[in-house]
A and B are shown apart, each in its own frame.
Chain A
Amino acid sequence: DAGVIQSPRHEVTEMGQEVTLRCKPISGHNSLFWYRQTMMRGLELLIYFNNNVPIDDSGMPEDRFSAKMPNASFSTLKIQPSEPRDSAVYFCASSLGTGHTPLHFGNGTRLTVT
């Protein structure tokens, strides 16, 4: 089991540039989550998908953020245009089913916007 795979591990970009973060969930998991972690706000749920369909995107901070899940094995989180305040670690997680099934997290993408 390769676990949840995120790429890139680190991303440094200039303000105004487009950023795309990628996630491959664990095979067979039908729920996928994007979280953002900062010192100030801790872990925030941005959006989650169930069976490739966005269920709750109330945590997406602004229209500059968008997420897609074109198939069960791939998801992207895009920021366009990026701003310095978007600097954070972005985690993708997946789980099987609902209820008490735990989330499995990827190693995260550390984004720095200068």
Chain B
Amino acid sequence: AQSVSQHNHHVILSEAASLELGCNYSYGGTVNLFWYVQYPGQHLQLLLKYFSGDPLVKGIKGFEAEFIKSKFSFNLRKPSVQWSDTAEYFCAVKGGGATNKLIFGTGTLLAVQP
């Protein structure tokens, strides 16, 4: 069965600090990987996705993530965070093929201090 682990539950950073949020998944086959962001009081929005090709994917607002197949990881990074990046970040995995089931990690709450 698919599962997703996010190791950091809460992260506090100062503005301009670099960010890396960990995500590991458990699934033996081809996967599609996603990062979603949930700003306070809002619904989840897609940040970026990986399904094939270049393992380094770039998303909106300067975020990027790297798929490392050997480590079953899909960590999210941003070189310099802003106060407006304060949100909860969810990693998600979907098995390849016909399945449409998207499994989310427990989320990482990021607080950026001005």
A residues at B contact (CB < 8 Å): 31, 33, 35, 41-43, 45, 48, 50, 55-56, 91, 93, 95, 98-100, 102-103, 105-108
Contacts and interface: CB of A to CB of B under 8 A. Distances in A.
Give the contact-size bracket for chain B. Answer: 20 to 34
Interface string B92-108: 00101111111111110
B83 interface: no
A91 B43 contact: yes
Would you list the 7 A-B pairs with minimal beta carbon distance, nearest first? Answer: A100-B51, A42-B106, A43-B104, A105-B43, A100-B32, A102-B46, A105-B44
A91 B102 CA distance: 13
B49 to A, nearest CB: 6
A33 B102 contact: yes
B42 interface: yes
Contacts of A41: 106
Interface of B: 32, 34, 42-46, 49, 51-52, 90, 94, 96-107
B104 A48 contact: no
A82 B49 CA distance: 36
A95 B101 CA distance: 11
B11 to A, nearest CB: 16
A93 B34 CA distance: 15
Given A42-B107, A91-B44, A108-B43, A102 B100 contact: no
B100 to A, nearest CB: 5
